[in-house]
Structure 1
């Protein structure tokens, strides 16, 4: 299976369980691998036959900036669900989300999840 990826997508969100995290936006960084067959797109050279990574990036930024989740787990699940629902060619998504300001003693913390279409 082929992979279209987005690496280092940066946006900001209100996210976290602590009061200080609920008061102002903080940066989040996303790495996304979307598995799908690209054979049709390679033959046609047409964007309609693949996934537009700019469109996916814009959708994720909009989703994240509008969200108010407490947990990264909930946000990550919502993003994967959105991609699989809105971009039917995608058979699975691997999402890494980093929250660099969450723990001051680290470069970043976060999680990685992988979800598959039904």
Structure 2
């Protein structure tokens, strides 16, 4: 996990449960499935801390709405592609300096609760 530097904030969006088309089998192509998304975001929060104004903070509600729109309005063959697209969406917010996205596909394997993939991105300083 990325270390916090002074003035940085860590935001976690936990267990965002959405439905989308994910997979390559006929049944997966025809039917939406549940997925679970967890996002970790680091951003410089000094201005927000000082001002106590939403305009100076990273609006995690806006990020969540963008992720929901992306996931629910698209189709994905691979969990890797879905995870990268969500990461790209999160990194599209200029205040984000670092992000990790984990996407779980429940019951993807027999005898397993889920399969997940995690990808990370970092903005160049």
TM over 0.5: yes
- State the match for 1:6 in structure 2: 13
1:80 paired to 2:67: no
**TM-score, normalised by the number of residues in structure 1:** 0.93
Higher helix share: 1
Q: How does 1:1-118 map to 2 (within 5 A)?
A: 1-85=8-92, 87-118=93-124
* 2-structure distance, mates of 1:27, 1:73: 16
Mean Cα deviation higher: 39-48 or 101-110: 101-110
Alignment size in residue pairs: 117
| 5+ long unaligned stretches in structure 2 | 1-7
| 5+ long unaligned stretches in structure 1 | none
**TM-score, normalised by the number of residues in structure 2:** 0.88
Between structure 1 and structure 2, the one with the greater Rg is 2
* 2-structure distance, mates of 1:101, 1:65: 19
Root-mean-square deviation (CA, aligned residues, Å) is: 1.1
Higher strand share: 2
Stretches (4+) displaced over 4 A: none
